[in-house]
Amino acid sequence: MNEANKPRTTAQDVANLAGVSRSAVSRYFNGGQKVSLEKRERILAAAEKLGYRPNAIARSLTGRQTDLVAVVIADNESFHTSRIVRELYLQLYDVGKRALIIPVGNTDGIDESSLRALDYQADAIVVIGGSVSRGIVDHLRAANTPLFLLGRENVDAEVVGVCCDNFLGAQMLGRLLVRSGRRRLTYIGKAINTFSNQNRREGFVSEIESAGVGLYAETSDATTFEGGRNAAIRLLGMPEPPDAIFAFNDTMALGALSAVSEFKLRVPDDVAVVGFDDIPMAGWPNFQLTTVRYDIKKVTRIVARSIVGHTDHQSAENGNIMVTPELVVRITAL
């Protein structure tokens, strides 16, 4: 028989080889309850020989936990989001959970993707870079499926929000630029005004206005290198160009640095450029981008442990959990 068409090994196959009942195999793989040591050793040996792994989806049909956590990704283009997803996957693995990645496609929104997670009987849902409607929150509550928002605050007492303090991080950047003598300060935001974009803009504006400096100009574009470059070109093409640019994220800021070079301007002498997130490229010798950093590992660890707290009936935190960022000063804003 062709290997590709070979039937999948079942719990019954393991039971037959081990010389035990099918129910004994099920009990063993669901915590080893009421299975003698001698039987456990036979079941384990048979499973290893056959390459058997318990089916999480089949477990869900019996009402048990699947240990699957659906991760709904609203922003599929961001390099920073990719880092968060990878770290979350590892943190979930460390607490005995498995990530089921569900990207938000061109036709489905976050609500539809979140509901799709219920098809797999996920123990919990994590939405990265977005939120869900009140109706979906109610639906998930009825299904006893906890919801976590990673990267934004919650707007509902029954949803856990874990994120960096975007407002504070933007204030840090605004304070640095004002103290360095910048007066024509600009902001490049996301084309879609999300929670994080709104908070970063508001934190930046509040800080510079408290110092007596208004926002000189602003524009928005895609959160990509090209988006940042195109937005910066618009700002730098003004009759009197800005002397500082704060881009929503580092990828856009790197695009802005490219635009500054095209205009034959010097960084930071003519114009300072700052970003947010401290992606690895921000620290590369050719960039040395001033930015704001927060501990991704800490944020994802909080989410993973909060999921365990909710799904395993342990002590669980609710509400908003904020992580304090730190300013990273490099040569683009000295």
| 188-232 pLDDT tens trace | 999 887 889 999 999 999 999 999 999 999 999 999 999 999 999
Q: Is the pLDDT of residue 61 over 50?
A: no
Radius of gyration in angstroms for the set of CA atoms belonging to the chain, rounded to a whole number? 25
pTM: 0.78
**Distance between CA atoms of 244 and 208, rounded to whole angstroms?**
12
Q: Which residues face 127 on adjacent strands?
A: 72, 149
Domain spanning 3-54, CATH class:
mainly alpha
The pLDDT value given to residue 107: 60
The pLDDT value given to residue 108: 64
Query: Which strands make up the sheet holding 185-190, listed edge to edge?
Result: 217-221, 185-190, 244-247, 272-274
Q: Is the pLDDT of residue 263 over 80?
A: yes
Give the residue range(s) of CATH 1.10.260.40 domains in the chain. Answer: 3-54
Short-list 283, 217, 229, 221, CA closest to 254: 229
CATH fold for domain 68-164+296-324: Rossmann fold (3.40.50)
Q: What is the b/e burial string over 200-211, where b = at least 16 CB atoms within 10 angstroms of the residue's CB?
A: bbebbbebbeee
What is the distance, to the nearest Å, from the Cα of residue 245 to the centroid of all Cα atoms in its chain? Answer: 25
Averaged confidence pLDDT in the chain: 86
Q: Is the pLDDT of residue 112 over 90?
A: no
Query: 56: Cβ–Cβ under 8 A, 6 or more apart, which residues?
Result: 66, 67, 68, 98
Give the residue range(s) of CATH 3.40.50.2300 domains in the chain. Answer: 68-164+296-324, 166-293
Short-list 308, 307, 277, 280, CA closest to 294: 277
**Distance between CA atoms of 126 and 100, rounded to whole angstroms?**
10
8 class by beta-carbon count within 10 Å (0-12 exposed, 13-18 middle, 19+ buried): exposed
The pLDDT value given to residue 36: 85
> Picking from 170-184, 196-210, 311-325, which range would have the lowest pLDDT averaged per residue?
311-325
Short-list 125, 83, 69, CA closest to 295: 83
Q: How far is CA 241 from CA 106, 138, 229, 255, in A?
A: 37, 49, 15, 17
**Distance between CA atoms of 334 and 224, rounded to whole angstroms?**
25
Q: Looking at domain 166-293, what is its CATH homologous superfamily?
A: Response regulator (3.40.50.2300)
